[in-house]
Each structure stands twice: as C-alpha cells, then as structure tokens.
Chains A and B, each alone.
Chain A
C-alpha cells in the first residue's frame, strides 16, 4: 500500500520472520506436564520455608531461594479471582487456532494452590452470569487427546451450589 509525503513515495518492505523452537521442560515441569497428560492430575510444590504452594512446580522458591521439595496434589476445583469477557479474537499462538469472541476467560486459584491459572470459562459471556468468587472445576480432555500442555484443560466449569 503506497505511502507518500509531499508527493514523495515512502517505501516499505514487508518481511515474515518464521523461527522454529524446541523447548525443554526441565525436570520439575516434565513431571507436572506428564502427570497432567497421563493421569489427569495437577501437582503443585511447597516451599519448606514459606510454605507457598507453587504451580507449576519449580525447583527453587523465588522468595526463599531454597529448593522446593514437597509435591502436593491439587484439587481440580478452585475459586475465580478475576475474569473478563473477550470481544477481541484470541489466537492460540502454538496452533494458530482462534477462539471466536465473545467468550469468557478468567483466572482460577485451585484449592490448595497459591498460584492461579488463566483459562477459558464455560460460562455464557454475560456479565450477570459471572462473579468473582465463583467456584469452578477444571474439565480435562480425554486421555488420548492430552499432550501435556495447559490446553489439556478444555475449560473451567462453574460448580452449581
């Protein structure tokens, strides 16, 4: 698309940079992702000093600078701490697949965890239907579709009280 300034053409050159990567998970993340993939379980890890349960599990507690040691199996249930209704399309950069708006998206703190997970919410995108503090439950894909990634969770379902 030509640009110009005072009758003078301004040149621009399009270019696509495509870079393949290969990421290694490391010991702790490997265990986390494999437990999710193979057994449908969420694992956090607790710091021996501050007792914080971190998810995903990591080797060192960033606050205390000591090795995290105690693996804790976490519930699939949790509490919604924040949410939004997206009116903009969101594309999964790893697959190129778009999530069509509007859709509900939020942040859930699983019971027992100090960390939160961001994910899709299986709630109608209507602000009267979503509330901070709602109880939610993770819904996983069937075993044969799980690959060891956050997308092994399909979404969070509201738990009817």
Chain B
C-alpha cells in the first residue's frame, strides 16, 4: 500500500434531524397564554432593579431576585423601533421568505426590547425611533408568532 494518496477526496453528506419540545416554564406559560387568549403582552417588573423585563422570567439576571406572577405587568402594546435591518438572503432556517424586515422594538413601559418582524412599511421609510404597534395573528397557538408582525402607527 503506497504512501502516495493521490488527489482522492472522500466526502459524505449527512443530516441530523432533531425534534425538540421546549417548555416555556412558569413565567413563560403566563406570557404565552395571555398573548394567545387575550392579545395582551406581559413583561415582568423587578422591584429591586426598578426595571421591567421582557420576556417575563423567574429570576432577574442582574440582582438574582426571584420574580413571580405578582410581578407580571402589561407592556405595550405600542412601542418604539430601536434598531432594524432588511434581510435579503434566504436560509432554510429563516422563518420568513426574504426580503423581510426585522428589528428590536422597545414596548412602552418595558426596559428591554423584543425582536420581531416589521411589516406594512416601505423599508426606505423605516427610522430608528418610529412608533409601531403589534398585528396579531388570526389563529394563535401560544408562541411568539401569535404576534404576526409590528406595523408603523
């Protein structure tokens, strides 16, 4: 068997398909059920930090306070666009077909942003600081796409 390997190249194409099921947890369950059933968006208030966080969570990352149902507060529904981009390329993993706009929206009364699609606007007219409102999906299932997208006021 010679040491000379030549130019042979052997490659194999494979794929891994993994089916997951993510549990929203205590606070996440409140958030998604209120979103689905009442079209209300909840955040959670950390009294120690004096901040309202989205998404609602059981521990404040900064001060480690325990947060629970009584700390939930309604935020939005309107908000301010803090950043955005136009996606023009396609990847199988993308949830929407390009081109689409998505950005970070700071809902009224929240101190952190939410990433979501921005629709119903001409990309040239998008501006940081624009006011937007959620457009809810007709059929809601208890996930983040129960909000279909945000549109300019």
Contacts and interface: CB of A to CB of B under 8 A. Distances in A.
Given A24-B11, A25-B12, A30-B10, A17 B20 contact: yes
Interface stretch (B21-29, B73-81, B119-127, B131-139): B21-29
Interface residues of B, number: 28
Given A24-B10, A29-B10, A19 B23 contact: no
Interface string A2-44: 0000001111111111111111110101110110000000010
Contacts of B29: 8-11
A81 to B, nearest CB: 26
B1 interface: yes
A34 B6 CA distance: 12
Given A9-B33, A11-B23, A23-B11, A17 B28 contact: no
Contacts of B13: 20-22
Interface residues of A, number: 32
A40 to B, nearest CB: 15
Contact of A18 (B10, B15, B30): B15
Contact of A13 (B1, B5, B143): B143
Given A21-B13, A25-B11, A14 B21 contact: yes
B24 A13 contact: yes
B17 to A, nearest CB: 5
Interface of A: 8-25, 27, 29-31, 33-34, 43, 69, 71, 73, 93-94, 148-149
Interface of B: 1, 3, 5, 8-24, 28-30, 32-33, 92, 142-143
Question: Which are the 5 A-B pairs with shortest beta-carbon distances?
Answer: A71-B1, A25-B10, A30-B10, A11-B24, A11-B32
Given A20-B15, A43-B1, 17 more contacts: A8-B29, A9-B29, A10-B24, A13-B143, A14-B22, A15-B20, A18-B18, A18-B92, A20-B13, A20-B14, A21-B15, A22-B11, A25-B9, A25-B12, A31-B1, A34-B10, A148-B12
